[in-house]
Amino acid sequence: MNDLNWIDLTHSFDSTTLYWPNNKTKFIHHSDAEGVTPLGYYYSSYSICAPEHGGTHLDAPIHFAKDKYTVEQLPLTSLTGNAVVIDVSKNALANRDYQIAIADIKSWEMENGKIEKNTIILFKTGYGKYYPNRGDYFGTPKTGIEAIPELHFPGIDPKTTSWLIKEREVKAIGLDTPSLDYGQSKDFKTHQILMGSNKPGFENLANLDKLPATNIYVVALPMKIGKGSGAPLRIIAGVSN
């Protein structure tokens, strides 16, 4: 591991952190103490409040699949391992409603080789460059329930998700958009399929443009929330020098 160059794939959590438009709360960082104490030393302490799902975060299987892993139940082997980056930005940036196809993966494999079993798949749509501009990232600047019908961003076709699980036996899937499913999804079928297989998903990833296609090792450690359906995620990628 000493010969790896580590890239942070995590957006900072702060006042600009993006959450689903109808989330009732956002990230709050409150100062409980800050400054020089009566004894002359500096001291600071803060409180945080945030939804499970938002910013760079993990979706645990329980999020869309009853009786599957909650956040704290996920084995570390599900959160670490070899990864690849599949660049679908040409199609995704040309069509905000693009759904990543099996053909995208087969085309990638023609250049880079067949994806090995237990690989973490990271899809680069190019939408990471829009974060944290809500309008550009979500396809609408609106918030609240009225924004949901106007969401337009790419995601993963459910057929592709099924194929990755059955034909490539992938470990986890992540991407640089607000959701594994595209913005206009009504049934979140990709979530259902992936999490029904007890596999986690990673959303709102950063810096995928800094990674090569292969020879990547990912460490994706969420806040260990008991019985959580998701959690803020610190995800990093090691690239061979």
Q: Residue 1 — very low, low, confident or very high, per pLDDT cuts 50/70/90? A: low
The pLDDT tens digits of the residues spanning 41-75 come to 999 999 999 999 999 999 999 999 999 999 999 99
Instruction: Report DSSP letters for 170-235, one per residue.
Output: -SEEEESSS-SS-TT-SS-HHHHHHHHTT--EEES---GGGS-SSSEEEEEEE---TT-SEEEEEE
Give the Cα separation of 112 and 213 in Å (integer).
8
Do 55 and 17 meet the contact criterion of CB atoms below 8 Å apart? yes
The pLDDT tens digits of the residues spanning 100-143 come to 999 999 999 999 999 999 999 999 999 999 999 999 999 999 99
| Contact residues for 83 (Cβ-Cβ < 8 A; gap 6+) | 119, 120, 121, 122, 216, 217, 218, 237
Please tell me the predicted confidence (pLDDT) of residue 203: 98
* pLDDT mean across residues, the chain: 97
The pLDDT tens digits of the residues spanning 11-40 come to 999 999 999 999 989 999 999 999 999 999
| pLDDT greater than 80 at residue 3 | yes
The pLDDT tens digits of the residues spanning 80-96 come to 999 999 999 999 999 99
Do 174 and 167 meet the contact criterion of CB atoms below 8 Å apart? no
